[in-house]
Amino acid sequence: MALKDIMAISGYPGLYKYVSQGRNGIIVESLTDGKRSHISATAKVSALSDIAIFTNDGEKPLREILNSIKEKENGAQTISHKSSNDELKKFFLEVEPDYDTDRVYTSDIKKVVAWYNQLQVLNMLDFAEDEKEEAAEQTEEKADSDDSQEEKAAKPKAKAQPKSAVAKEKKPTAQKKVQAAKAKPAGDGGAKKSAHQKKG
């Protein structure tokens, strides 16, 4: 099962599998006991594929963190999420030495450890499908970027002729303004004359 189909829900223990769209929310199935629940649209639901851990250089996808734990433990269970804060921090530094200690809290580490252990029990630590999809997305993004750059390079040439055409269309308008400006003094003089006649 891909990480995009596995959900973490705020206020609910454990992990869940997305089942379907429900009325004003979604239907999920607990990976612990298989029970299905309706989750309101207002609940905070995150697919594991969308979760990342802050590092000093940016972010690292949760999948890579879980893989690091898997390698460290040779695929076995890891430290309990109920371990002391100091033990959890020490463990996480071994797994990801570059994690941002200011923005990644002990509560976050507990969640990651608990998720790993649950996925390990369910034999769901093979992320080949996720890696394949990520590689496909990167290829698609690169192709879109290349196409965009080609379009930008072609746009100036395509616009060169229309610009000159627009400039030519503006000339008659400028002439009209000049003619209007020449006619203006006569109008002003007429206005002054009219005012002078009133004074008399």
Q: How many residues would you count in the chain?
A: 200
Q: In the predicted model, what is the mean pLDDT of residues 61-68?
A: 96
Cβ neighbours for 57, distance < 8 A, ≥ 6 positions apart: 98
pLDDT in tens, 125-179: 988 766 666 666 657 766 666 666 766 666 555 544 444 333 333 444 444 444 4
**CA-based nearest residue to 15, from 100, 37, 24:** 37
Q: In the predicted model, what is the mean pLDDT of residues 77-99?
A: 97
**pTM (2 decimals)?**
0.66
CATH match for 3-46 among 2.60.40, 2.30.30, 1.20.120, 1.25.40: 2.30.30
**CA-based nearest residue to 4, from 185, 117, 133, 196:** 133
CB atoms within 10 A of CB 133: 15
In the chain, which residues fall in CATH 2.30.30? 3-46
pLDDT for the residue numbered 30: 96
Flag whether pLDDT at 28 surpasses 80: yes
pLDDT for the residue numbered 172: 44
CATH match for 51-126 among 1.10.1040.10, 1.10.10.1650, 3.50.50.60, 3.30.70.370: 1.10.10.1650
Tokens of 127: 């992320």
Specify whether the CB–CB gap between 4 and 47 falls below 8 A: yes
In the chain, which residues fall in CATH 1.10.10.1650? 51-126
- Distance (Å) of CA 136 to CA 25, 61, 65, 126, 140: 30, 16, 21, 18, 6
